[in-house]
Amino acid sequence: MFFMLYFLVMITLYNAVSKDGYINEVNGSEDFVPYEVWHEFLELCTAYDVFAMGKNSYQAIQEYEPEERRLFESLPIKKVVISRDGNFTPQKGYEIIRSVSELPKLGKNILLSSGPSLNDVFLKEKLIDKIILNVIPVKVVSGLKQFSSKEPNMILKSEKNTQEGRVLCSYDVVY
Ligand SMILES: NC(=O)c1ccc[n+]([C@@H]2O[C@H](COP(=O)([O-])OP(=O)(O)OC[C@H]3O[C@@H](n4cnc5c(N)ncnc54)[C@H](OP(=O)(O)O)[C@@H]3O)[C@@H](O)[C@H]2O)c1
């Protein structure tokens, strides 16, 4: 029965990446990600019923400008933080789960945006169905990559160039 439920769930991983494949800079900053990308991300969220992130990504969002955070936190989407730390509780408006296997029980069309720590776990558990990359035309040179271990096998499904020189790529993940 659980297997059938999982079968009906779609998990899409979204990341904004530099053209050399980094999701943040070595000091943890995401300053290379232009302002409009956050607004595109908020628009993307409206197509999903759940948004999930790792504890570190949650903490990064808490450092955003209050208005930027408010726009995200007021979206009518279930916001889920994943952490094994029993002493950690996110603020009101976020749900907490302790294991990646709990996520598919929370919705049908799930958007995930995390760093390599959690992305690796989801990939290893074969839980990522699609990947959307918003590729920003700058080189970051060092920082965190989308995955720290094995890269997924992906099939490019669509590619769109924006006026600002970014490329929006959508992939299916093949296991
Ligand atoms: N450019 C982008 O698109 C983008 C998107 C998202 C994030 N980011 C950046 O990525 C950075 C964070 O990435 P990160 O890799 O350090 O962290 P992360 O993936 O956001 O979160 C890592 C946390 O997830 C939890 N976790 C890991 N494995 C788990 C498991 N098996 N079960 C349950 N929980 C598990 C752990 O929390 P506990 O230690 O509490 O268990 C771990 O510390 C931030 O700088 C953020 O700005 C960039």
Tokens 């933080």 belong to residue? 81
Distance separating alpha carbons of residues 13 and 132, to the nearest angstrom = 6
Q: pLDDT tens digits for 110-141?
A: 999 999 999 999 999 999 999 999 999 999 99
**CATH topology assigned to domain 2-166:** Dihydrofolate Reductase, subunit A (3.40.430)
Confidence of residue 149 (pLDDT cuts 50, 70, 90): confident
What average pLDDT does the chain have?
Answer: 94
SS3 151: coil
pLDDT on residue 6:
62
The pLDDT of residue 1 is above 90: no
Q: Whose CA is nearest to atom 32 of ligand 1?
A: 99
Give the distance (Å) from ligand 1 centre to CA of residue 78.
18
Does residue 3 have a pLDDT over 60? no
Nearest-Å Rg of the Cα atoms of the chain is 16
Lowest mean pLDDT: which of 27-31, 97-101, 103-107, 154-158?
A: 27-31
Residue nearest to atom 48 of ligand 1 (CA): 23
Rounded to whole angstroms, how far apart are CA atoms 126 and 63? 31
Q: Give the pTM.
A: 0.96
The response to whether residue 82 sits with its C-beta less than 6 Å from ligand 1 reads yes
Q: Which atom of ligand 1 is nearest to the CA of 85?
A: 40
| pLDDT confidence bin for 67, thresholds 50/70/90 | very high
Mean pLDDT (whole number) for 22-51: 94
For 15-165, where are the alpha helices, taking DSSP H only? 35-45, 55-62, 66-73, 116-124
Sign for the pseudo-dihedral over CA of 173, 168, 69, 24: positive
